[in-house]
Amino acid sequence: MSLLVVENLRTEFPTGRGLVRAVDGVSFRVDAGEVLGFVGESGSGKSITALSLLRLVPKPGRITADGMRFAGTDLLAATERDLRQLRTRQIGVVFQDPLRSLNPVLTIGRQLTETLRRHLGLSGNEARKRAVELLDMVGIPLAAKRLASYPHEFSGGMRQRVMIAIALSCNPRLLIADEATTALDVTVQAQIVELLRTLIRELDIAVIWISHDLGLVAQLCDRVSVMYAGRIVESGPVRQVFRQPSHAYTVGLIASTPRLDRVGHRLSTIEGLPPDTTRPTGLCAFLPRCGLSVERCRQAHPEPRPVGPDHLAACFAHEGRLREGFPQ
């Protein structure tokens, strides 16, 4: 049973230049306890997809979809009040920059207990006790003492731990992590990833993990959706997608990523820049940068088609040329 089902989500922003199609017909599902990765470059629509689920898209953004259901709730029809409940009690969120998410003039303890009291109806004492447990769970030493600290007294890694504690405070069923470790140093990132792995297993929560880092996706996710210019161009089980990338963009992305365990070769590049989504061509958005395109790419728009078990790709080129074009 899927926890979250999204069908044909579109999020558009009217601007002076025209309509920006930030998310352009995206469909996916998240099963209970599963980690789904969204990977893609800046502006590919991965963050806006997540914000659309929470109906937190900034004005004048417009969200439409054929369906968007979370654990029996229709997210499109939900009232603002339902959504507020949902956002903390059912769906926790961790963003890249914890300093912007935390209130600088309130203590960590206050921010944690406020959520617990309002949403779970705990008493002051109960909330305090639970807050200490939560900080303890995310590995903050001397948790009871740190309740009185302010956000600026914590390091970046510790702040992100606090954000995770707040996001998990009401036992949500889904956690959305948007570039949650991007601002952290690599050894601290490894600590946070390790923590998340343990928590995902122990609490049995589903996660939407948004990242530009293919390595983190490989490390953490069960399935992955690759986004380009507002669309999911490929999706599937993480091992499948990495072993047999079936969209020319995924192939290019993997080939242009330098790896710690490889040396000596010249990096493949994807020439050019991402397209302007205000001017859809009716063809594959990757076509102008694609080195593998075939005749059909210039005639029709590729729809996602199965290329393996639970593995979809929207690419005409994959059928013959992909494997010849980019030897492993």
Partner 1 sequence: MTAPLLEVRDLKVHFPGSGSLFGRAAPIRAVDGVSFTIERGRTLSLVGESGCGKSTTGYALLRLVSATGGQVLLDGRDLLACRAGEMRQHRRRIQIIFQDAAASLDPRMPIGDLLAEALDIHGLHRGPGRMAHIRRLLDQVGIPSHFLQRYPFELSGGQAQRVALCRALAVEPDLIVCDEPIAALDVSIQAQIVNLMQDLQREHGLAYLFISHDLAVVRHISHRIAVMYLGRIVEQADKTALFERPAHPYTRALLSAVPIPDPEIEAARQRVVLSGELPSPANPPSGCVFRTRCPDARPACADTVPASRRVGEDHDASCIFA
- Minimum Å gap between C-beta 191 and partner 1 is 6
Instruction: Provide the token pair at 41.
Output: 């470059």
Q: Which is nearer to partner 1, 124 or 215 (CB)?
A: 215
- Minimum Å gap between C-beta 212 and partner 1 is 7
Instruction: Provide the token pair at 308.
Output: 């393996």
Among 118, 243, 296, 298, binds partner 1 (CB under 8 A): 243
Distance CA 78, CA 75 (A): 5
Instruction: Provide the token pair at 165.
Output: 């504690």
Q: Which of residues 166-225 bind partner 1 (CB under 8 A)?
A: 185-191, 193-194, 212-219
- Minimum Å gap between C-beta 114 and partner 1 is 27
Interface with partner 1, residue 142, by CB under 8 A: no
Closest CA to 94 of 54, 137, 139: 54
Distance CA 180, CA 191 (A): 12
Report yes or no: 12 and 62 within 8 Å, Cβ to Cβ. yes
Q: Which is nearer to partner 1, 109 or 274 (CB)?
A: 274
Let me know if 261 is exposed, middle or buried by CB neighbors in 10 A (0-12, 13-18, 19+). Answer: exposed
Of the ranges 103-111, 172-180, 238-246, 295-303, which one interacts with partner 1 (CB under 8 A)?
238-246
Among 74, 257, 281, 306, binds partner 1 (CB under 8 A): 257
Q: Which is nearer to partner 1, 86 or 177 (CB)?
A: 177
Of the ranges 45-53, 103-111, 168-176, 259-267, which one interacts with partner 1 (CB under 8 A)?
259-267
Q: Which is nearer to partner 1, 98 or 252 (CB)?
A: 252
Interface with partner 1, residue 17, by CB under 8 A: no
Of the ranges 5-13, 50-58, 74-82, 262-270, which one interacts with partner 1 (CB under 8 A)?
262-270
Among 23, 140, 238, 292, binds partner 1 (CB under 8 A): 238
Report yes or no: 225 and 38 within 8 Å, Cβ to Cβ. yes
Interface with partner 1, residue 253, by CB under 8 A: yes
Closest CA to 230 of 275, 269, 179, 271: 275
Interface with partner 1, residue 105, by CB under 8 A: no
Let me know if 314 is exposed, middle or buried by CB neighbors in 10 A (0-12, 13-18, 19+). Answer: buried
Query: Which letter does DSSP use for residue 148 in this model?
Result: T
- Minimum Å gap between C-beta 94 and partner 1 is 18
Closest CA to 41 of 209, 210, 192, 180: 210
Q: Which is nearer to partner 1, 77 or 267 (CB)?
A: 267
Q: Which of residues 263-282 bind partner 1 (CB under 8 A)?
A: 263, 266-271, 273
Interface with partner 1, residue 242, by CB under 8 A: yes
Q: Which of residues 117-136 bind partner 1 (CB under 8 A)?
A: none
**Around 57, how many Cα atoms within 13 Å sit in the side-chain half-sphere?**
24
Binding residues for partner 1, how many (CB under 8 A)?
A: 43
Distance CA 165, CA 111 (A): 11
Task: List Cβ neighbours of 314 (8 Å cut-off, separation of 6 or more).
Answer: 231, 232, 233, 234, 247, 284, 302, 303, 304, 305
Q: Which of residues 143-162 bind partner 1 (CB under 8 A)?
A: 155, 157-158
Interface positions with partner 1 (CB under 8 A): 41-42, 155, 157-158, 185-191, 193-194, 212-219, 238-239, 242-243, 252-254, 256-261, 263, 266-271, 273
